[in-house]
Structure 1
């Protein structure tokens, strides 16, 4: 059941069979239907989610009422509202399934127990967060230094399957332009 997560952890650190067993007793699996929410604005984020299958997105609604996607998570990626999760305060974001999705959740109230029983996981999460932060910085740089068309082509080159997989409206929101503009970019190719 947790083999995808354990394989991901092994990319960063090694857990013994006993540690894997301990961890498996502290995890929870959740199935989420397409368009369903794991978190809505105003709620407290109670878990950090590892995507086993499917796709989640983290977004907010801007002052014009438009959805602004700031993160996607597909297989073997983590997603949460870190501020809400760590400080147990109201979230400013939504986490929604872009596809039928299966996740493994680490609930906030068990996080410290997990870290105390398996200290190696603190290192694992530090490394995962460092990679995520680096990716976020690069994304922000691209938003300010590339044209919308350059951002699309760059993202499409890095993640071609992903571009085909997610709804055009969500992709456009993530890349910082409208779905109509995305249609124009795609039409140029053909």
Structure 2
């Protein structure tokens, strides 16, 4: 990990971070305060950033690559709850606020670069900047709503409906995600996914 302010790619990283959905409306004064707290971290494909049951928590701003949020049951069966890519975030904010272990893992689907800081630092920073806190908590609510909608989708939509919904809502990720990962997210076999994606493209 390297501090953002001393990173050799500082200028481009700063521009990328200012496009983040939580940071883009931040005032110059707030950004000047936050910037020295951020560390740039690179993760290889498959690396866990946070593990289900952890108490140590951090806030992540995605610069490059794709993360997934995964929950695992006692038998080791996994369910992917969401994907997040450039300009998005992942977070354990709710667990930190509730003082409970993280109920999911955060893993790198591809090679990933993030800017991060501890949840304690992030919460203290937001307490000093209410507008940032409001924007962030709104995005967290959207994120939680997205996870809930996905869970409902798995129960209410058939296989073609699940594929069509993902292609419509996340066209930017449809071709970037490994087939196995997307198939798992949609509770399909990779072969069924390929067939339905091809059919969906023809229909669209």
Considering the TM-score relative to the shorter chain, is it more than 0.5? yes
Query: 2:68, 2:106 within 8 Å by CA — same for their partners in 1?
Result: yes
Query: How do residues 1-190 of structure 1 correspond to structure 2 at under 5 angstroms?
Result: 1-7=13-19, 8-9=21-22, 13-15=25-27, 17-62=28-73, 65-186=76-197
Query: 2:41, 2:116 within 8 Å by CA — same for their partners in 1?
Result: yes
Specify the SS of the correspondent of 1:29.
strand
Q: 1:178 to 1:67 in 2, by over 3 A?
A: farther
Q: For residues 6 and 188 of structure 1, what CA distance do their matches in structure 2 show?
A: 38
Alignment deviations for residues 42-68 of structure 1 (CA, whole Å, 9 cap, x no partner): 322411211111001111224553321
Where does structure 1 differ by over 4 angstroms across 4 or more consecutive aligned residues? 186-190
Alignment deviations for residues 153-178 of structure 1 (CA, whole Å, 9 cap, x no partner): 22123323412111122111211233
Query: 1:27, 1:107 within 8 Å by CA — same for their partners in 2?
Result: no
Q: 1:42 to 1:134 in 2, by over 3 A?
A: closer
Q: For residues 86 and 49 of structure 2, what CA distance do their matches in structure 1 show?
A: 16
Specify the SS of the correspondent of 2:122.
helix
May I ask how many residue pairs the two structures share in their alignment?
188
Query: 1:31, 1:102 within 8 Å by CA — same for their partners in 2?
Result: yes
Query: 2:41, 2:114 within 8 Å by CA — same for their partners in 1?
Result: yes
Q: For residues 142 and 163 of structure 2, what CA distance do their matches in structure 1 show?
A: 22
Query: 1:28, 1:105 within 8 Å by CA — same for their partners in 2?
Result: yes
RMSD value, Cα? 2.5
Q: TM-score, normalised by structure 1?
A: 0.83
Query: 1:51, 1:103 within 8 Å by CA — same for their partners in 2?
Result: yes
Structure 1 residue runs without a partner (length 5+): none
